[in-house]
Structure 1
Amino acid sequence: MPSWPNLLILVAVIVLIFGTKKLRTLGSDLGASIKGFKKAMDNEDDNPTSNNDANFSAPSSTHVEKNHDKKE
């Protein structure tokens, strides 16, 4: 485990490389994505009975027969 002086030097180098503005926007973006993930997980738990799967079976009422009469 690094000591406190080593951690402070590491933080100072990171701030010098990226800048405070970039780190601030990175932190806010990370926080927003975590909030969105938690909200999505909560919404999934609230409605477990909804079925969002695709239904690929065609109902019989949509079947249209074509007339293939040929003139002779």
Structure 2
Amino acid sequence: MGSFSIWHWLIVLVIVLLLFGKGKISDVMGDVAKGVKSFKKGLSDEDETASRPGSSIDHKSAEVVTPTTDEKTRTS
């Protein structure tokens, strides 16, 4: 089942070219390349912001708010 020869792949390639045309395939490949480049740029931007001193977010602990007796009776 998985032993396709080079002739099988060439026939598939010809059919794909006939269906989509040369221009559409190059457009799609260009869009894929732009997507990969922007993904890599996003990853590198994330690494740069994490490595800069002072760019980390200071986390504060959350305040615990306990409901008063009036609030307890309203929700019950």
Q: TM-score, normalised by structure 2?
A: 0.62
- Report whether the alignment pairs 1:5 with 2:7: yes
Find the aligned partners of 1:41 and 1:13 in 2 and give their Cα distance. 37
- SS class of match (1:19): helix
Q: Which has the higher contact order (CA 8 A, sep 6+)?
A: 1
Matches within 5 A, 1:18-37: 18-37=20-39
* Structure number having the greater helix percentage: 2
Listed as ranges, the gaps of 5+ residues in structure 1 are 52-72
Matches within 5 A, 1:36-51: 36-48=38-50, 49-51=55-57
How far residue 3 of structure 1 moved from its aligned partner, in angstroms, is 1.0
Match of 1:14 in 2: 16
| Aligned pairs, number | 51
Deviations 1:7-35 (CA, angstroms, capped at 9, x unpaired): 00000000000000000100100000100
Find the aligned partners of 2:56 and 2:21 in 1 and give their Cα distance. 46
Find the aligned partners of 1:19 and 1:33 in 2 and give their Cα distance. 22
Percent of paired sites with the same residue: 29
